[in-house]
Structures are given as C-alpha cells and as structure tokens.
Amino acid sequence: MKNALTHHRKSSKTEATQLKFTKLLLMMDTYWNFIEFHQILQRLQRRWFSCSTGCCKILESGRLILLVVLSNGPCTTAFLLADRSYDVWLGNFRGNTFSRRHTTLNPSTAEFWKFSWDELGNHDITSSIDYVLKFTGQPRLSYIGYSLGSAAVFMGAVKHQDLNSKIDIVIALAPLSTFAHAAIEVLRVFAPWVDYLKRALDFMGVYGWFDTDGLGDQIFKSFCEQTRTQAQFCIDYFYNIFVGPSKNLDPDMIPLFNANLMRGTSVKVIAQFAQNYNAGKTLQAYDFGREGNMLRYGSHKPWTYDLRNVTVPVYVFSGGADRVVTPLDVDWLLTQLGNLKGSTRLIDYNHLDFLFGIDVKERLYDKVVALLPAP
C-alpha cells in the first residue's frame, strides 16, 4: 500500500526550492515552510499495505523525531520542535482519510481492511521508522506516540527487538495498553457481543468504520457547531461520555475537533478494543477464535505482548480523568515496561486534553520537549 509521508522543512526566503516531492508553501514570520509528501511502500504477504502518513518540518542539521498522532494538537508540538531545529515526521495509520492508497487494492473491497492493531505495530510502525532512518541517514530517532500510537510502538518493539535500538526515547501520551478498566459505557455494553457484531458486520459487507466523512460530518455540524452553546453542550455531555470530563477544551475549537477526530479505521481495529477489554490485564494480539488462533498463533488463545521486551527508554504522560486510557490501566502498564524512565499524571486531563487542551503547551508539550535529546 502507498502512503503519503509528509516532510516539512523550514528555510530562509532566499533559499532555492528544488524539492523532489509535492510541496505546500506556507508563510510563517520570516520563514518559508516547505511540506514534502513521501510515498512509502510496504511489502507484506505478497501484497502491498499502507504504512503511516504524516507532515514534517525539517532542518538538515536537526535531530530526528517521529510523532505518530492524528490531529492538529500534536502539530503544535511539531512546530515547537521544528523551531528548535528538530526534524519532525508526523504520521497517520492506514485506513483513515489520509492513508487509503494501495498499489493493487481498493478501499471499497474487504481485502483492503484486513488489519488490526498488530499490523499497525508490527508492520506500519517498523516500515515508517525504517523509511525515515534511510531517508535521513540517521541511526536513531525519538518517538512521541499518542493513545494507540503508543501501543503500536510497544507492540513493534516486542515483536521486532531490533526496533529498540533504532529509537533513543519513547514519549507515550495517554498510552493504550491493556483496556481492562476502560470506562466507556458503550464499550462495556457491546464488548461481550463483539464476536457476533463482527460477524454481522462482515455479513453486511462493512469492513471500515468510524469515518465521519459524509453523514457523520453533517451530524456533528448540526448538533455541535452551529452555536457556542451547542459546542459547550457537546463538550459537557457527548465528549464527556466517551473521553472523560474536561474544563480544558475551548468550545470555539469544536469544528477543529470534529475535522480531525474519527477519520476512519477497520472494523478489526475497533473489535480489538473490545477484545482487549474482555481479556483483562494484558495486551493481546487480535483474537481470530479458537480455530483461527491455532492457524495464526499455534494456540487456542491469541499471542500476548510481553512489554518487558520494550527496552527503549520510555516516559509516560497520562490523564487522571481519562475514560479511554484510565489511570488503573496506565498503572498496569507502568509495572510491565522493561525500561520505564518516568511517569507523569495530569490529574484533570481526559483523553482529548493531550491534543486540544487550552493549557497543553505549558503543562505538557514544554515538558515533552525538555525530555528529548538536544538537536
């Protein structure tokens, strides 16, 4: 699958602009900012699959940073890092609106959507990191992951031990691992029925899900974006139900939230959330059922990821009001990681505050930048 990995570079106005890739030119202060779109091809089981896409701001002398996050919030982090002479790559996982190109498969077919967390971590992350290191000629990079972006790099580091030596530091923001204590009521209701729901969706030909393009966008715009009162209502009730309470989200930013959230993934990715919730305190591979697991893993149960094999230094930032990645689940993760260097809990942060919180720069991003090796 083809994937557009964007490379964003800062230079002086007078510099010649002979770039090999598609460019988007932006003006910021006294600098031009160039965005290059890279195509990554990944070979898997005789097919080409998608890896991660992204935007990047680069100085040739800068240190390498890879952020696997999905919205405008971390782009703020990217600009903070780029302004400090870091080389920043920002990625999206396969299956969302920005990562649906393939050399042979069409997103309208079931084959395109046959991926779970395991493919994201064991193939997409590793391919993206290898691509960036080869392109830049650097031996290692730093990795900042949010939510499933953190779980994916943990999974990749467990399955591919050489990945640990390619990363000098992992900063995990609201990091997903076990899902045993997730406090999302919708998940709790439907998780016991996940296998039946998955088969029903397969029967109906639904393989990709959680994409707000089209009808979803219209619903959000109608109920959350018409007035500031509507926006505050969505924060207080809708977002509260799914990610946790917050007094740190600006209602004026609701259109930005909706433009970046729920951009699509596979049914298997969503099902794996429910599977890990049902499995309890563990991080397990996709459950194909007893017969499928025997064919895939050689046992009736799915493979589990031993996080002690994550030997790269890890710093964790979590939220005390997060309903998705709850404090109890983070506490479990902290006991499992093989090389945990530090953990910070922002007591009033929910899952979205890490991306869109009003005070996120002062309370989080500045601390993240301080942990990174100097450029």
Structure-token pair, residue 240: 């509260």
Cα atoms found within 13 Å of the Cα of residue 67, Cβ hemisphere only: 33
Q: In which residue are the tokens 């009162």 written? A: 229
Choose, from 87, 124, 287, 322, the residue flagged as catalytic: 322
Cβ contact 95:208 at 8 Å? yes
Cβ contact 46:98 at 8 Å? no
End-to-end CA distance of the chain: 33
Choose, from 50, 127, 142, 147, the residue flagged as catalytic: 147
Active site residue 351: yes
Going by C-beta distance under 8 Å and a sequence separation of 6 or more, which residues neighbour residue 233? 224
Q: In which residue are the tokens 């467990």 written? A: 158
Three-class secondary structure of residue 297 per DSSP: helix
Cα atoms found within 13 Å of the Cα of residue 83, Cβ hemisphere only: 12
Three-class secondary structure of residue 353 per DSSP: helix
Active site residue 147: yes
Active site residue 181: no
Choose, from 116, 142, 351, 353, the residue flagged as catalytic: 351
The residues assigned a catalytic role are 147, 322, 351
